[in-house]
Amino acid sequence: MSIFTPTNQIRLTNVAVVRMKRAGKRFEIACYKNKVVGWRNGVEKDLDEVLQTHSVFVNVSKGQVAKKEDLISAFGTDDQTEICKQILTKGEVQVSDKERHTQLEQMFRDIATIVADKCVNPETKRPYTVILIERAMKDIHYSVKPNKSTKQQALEVIKQLKEKMKIERAHMRLRFILPVNEEKKLKEKLKPLIKVIESEDYSQQLEIVCLIDPGCFREIDELIKKETKGKDSLEVLNLKDVEEGDEKFE
């Protein structure tokens, strides 16, 4: 027995819906999951990889296709591919509660991973595990913000965790060589940006090996270049000054 499907209905599965309201009517397009963000970021450029079909709907879940006259009234054209592009760029992505929960859980893990990668216990110089950071984030009741990047949120988490546990950004180890005539004046300007000076060598020039907060690297680099007019030598010896082994809570 054949099942009759009206000609203005299209059935789709595993779909992400993008919706736009225009001229008092609702229009939807059917996309492949996880492809909408790639299109908007410019990573995915092939429209066929994003759209399940070039049809414009009034209701994707019911398979109801928009009428030609409604498209012309709302968009000034009945070119469905062009209308799909407009909705894809400016429309609102519809996410189910389950999908939203999964996305927030993934962001929570991603934030914890960034924090664990960037931080250490300042007393032991050992990194914390991702699981331990996740537990600490739960203890401070950190709430993920879906509209902020995971990197921005990781920096927020580090600030909040500092109030509850021994944690800080792992230091970078630098070596820089300063011209003889500039070294004293420049060293004084650099001092507030340096955490620890590990060694100083005065031969023909001043060579300093030191530890800095990674957030100060750009400022140090720009200051040295400006003051020495490019006659300096700046080398990153270690991106992270850490000891082997994972940190544990007692």
**β-bridge pairing 206-212 and 172-178:** antiparallel
Query: Residue 177: which residues within 8 A CB-CB, separation 6 or more?
Result: 205, 206, 207, 208, 232, 233
pLDDT given for residue 85 in this prediction: 94
Strand partners, 207: 177, 201
**CA dihedral for 93, 144, 170, 190, sign (positive or negative):** positive
Residue 20, φ and ψ in degrees, nearest 5: -145, 140
pLDDT given for residue 52 in this prediction: 93
Residue 112, φ and ψ in degrees, nearest 5: -60, -40
Instruction: Write down the H helix ranges in the chain.
Output: 36-40, 47-50, 68-75, 80-90, 97-118, 130-139, 150-162, 183-190, 217-228
Asked if residues 6 and 51 have their Cβ atoms less than 8 Å apart, the reply is: no
pLDDT given for residue 124 in this prediction: 87
Cβ-in-10-Å burial (0-12, 13-18, 19+) of 195 comes to middle
Put simply, whether the predicted model's pTM sits higher than 0.75 gets the answer no
Task: Tell me which residues of the chain have a pLDDT lower than 50.
Answer: 1-6, 249-250
